[in-house]
Amino acid sequence: MNVAVIGAGPAGMIAAGMLARRGQSVTLIDEQTGSGGHLRYDRYPVGSDRHDSDSWLTELRGAVDSSNAVVLLSAIVWAAFRVGDGFELAVNHAGAERTIVADHLVVATGTTDLALIVPGATLPGVMTSRAARILLNRHDVLPGQRLVVVGAGVEAERLTSDLASAGAEVSAVATEKIESIAGSRGVESVHLTGDRTVTADCVVVARGEAPDLQLAGMLEAPRTYDSSVEGWRLAVGADLPGLSVIGGALLGAAGPAHVVKATIDTVERIAPAGPESGEIGLDITGAIIRWEAVQG
Amino acid sequence: MNGHGARRRATGTASAVQITFDGEPLTAVDTDTVASALIAAGHRVFTIDSHDGSPRGGFCFVGRCSDCLMVIDGQPGTMACITPVRDGMRVETQHGRGHWGREGQS
């Protein structure tokens, strides 16, 4: 069976590797220049309570590379259609248009950061937390010198501390305190409730994330508006013939173990009882992801 | 001049790549995207919005938001955030929807 896996983050890479080793003909597609998804810019130091992203990425790339999965990078899936019992994907691969035909689609598109809706939020210098992480961790570029981090969760706290360690002056501000952002050609100041103004050259929005369901939506996957994610999530128990949604794209529709559990469920559904069954154990404790090879 | 405090902290083992931004030479490193090279060099306006003329400078940096569309090697609508730099690359601010194959847009 031809399986197209869209999104080469952890969930997509696990699914692609396992399906390919079970004899399926797998194409793993990602718009970025490298596989790994958020592992390419999220950094947890070795020995911290979080999984070390570099070694996990190395492990996942090894699992995909040693399989027969074909990896298409710099490949943007810009439309998807049901054709007969299968699917056709319109893909722009490194600037050239091509069509990919698949019997089964695995949607592993991950999440999108929530935006900040206040006047001035479109000014250059306002960016998402993952944008700041990409600049800092992939490119060693500090996105500003006087930053305001907007949000209150774990990611906002981590980012505030990471940016401060990198040499920036950082204020953490709760979302509801931001009234507007001002500047002519980019961020210059942030106006807060209580008639306060903070000078800033960068505003980082770390309010959380919503599942990225644009592609699943194009294929008419049933979705529900969920105010807790400020967006659409997959409807729980949705029946999706020929289509699997896994990983972060399931946010709000599955439990905390969604990355791994949904991946394994999907692989079992498409290619049951393959030779790899039981060889890989994966454990999730809250947001902490660990990947362990089980011996024997 | 933007007058903001973005800067590159270190270049590690990356090697230099020469590009141009609106006709001016700019030194990037080979691991850069167009967006990271511009931010590191102190440029944060990538696009001028076609509706109200407001400046845009990239919001998501993962190829999602379309706030970083630039004219790259003459091709408008190219996402600066997921386009790697290449020696000799011509990067131009995009005005509105841009124009095909035209350098130095008005």
Task: Supply the ipTM of this predicted assembly.
Answer: 0.92
Model pLDDT for residues A70-114, shown as the tens digit of each residue: 999 999 999 999 999 999 999 999 889 999 999 999 999 999 999
Q: Is A201 on the interface with B (CB under 8 A)?
A: yes
User: CB under 8 Å to A32, separation ≥6 — which residues?
Assistant: A8, A40, A73, A74, B62, B63, B82
pTM: 0.89
Task: Report yes or no: B71 and B38 within 8 Å, Cβ to Cβ.
Answer: no
- Give the H/E segment covering residue B17: strand B16-21
Q: What is the pLDDT of residue B98?
A: 86
Interface of A with B in 143-162 (CB under 8 A): 143-146
Confidence (pLDDT) at A268 = 85
Identify whether B101 is part of a domain. no
Mean pLDDT value across residues A136-155: 93
Contacts of B17 in chain A (CB under 8 A): none
Task: Report the mean per-residue pLDDT for chain A.
Answer: 87
Q: What is the pLDDT of residue A251?
A: 85
- The helix/strand/coil state of A129 is helix
Rounded Cα gap, residues B90 and A46, in angstroms: 40
Residue B103 lies in a domain: no
Give the C-alpha distances (Å, rounded to integers) separating A121 from A189, A210, B70.
11, 18, 20
pLDDT tens-digit map of A229-280? 788 899 887 778 899 999 889 888 876 566 777 888 888 889 886 655 444 5
| B104: in domain | no
Query: Nearest C-alpha of chain B: how many angstroms from A82?
Result: 23
Domains detected in chain A: 2-112+209-270 (3.50.50.60), 115-205 (3.50.50.60)
Kindly report the CATH number assigned to the domain that includes residue B65. Answer: 3.10.20.440
Contact A115 B67 (CB under 8 A): no
State the alpha helices, DSSP H only, in A116-174. Answer: 129-133, 139, 154-165
Query: Which residue in the set A76, A113, A167 is minimally distant from B60, CB to CB?
Result: A113
- pLDDT class for B76, splitting at 50, 70, 90? very high
Residue B50 lies in a domain: yes
Q: How many domains does chain B have?
A: 1
Q: Is residue B7 part of a domain?
A: no
Nearest CA in chain A to B33: A139
> How many residues appear in chain B?
106
Q: Which two tokens stand for residue A55?
A: 């070694």
B64 compared with A86, residue with greater pLDDT:
A86
Give me the pLDDT at residue B10, please: 79
To which residue do tokens 């983050």 refer? Answer: A9
Q: Is residue B100 in a domain?
A: no
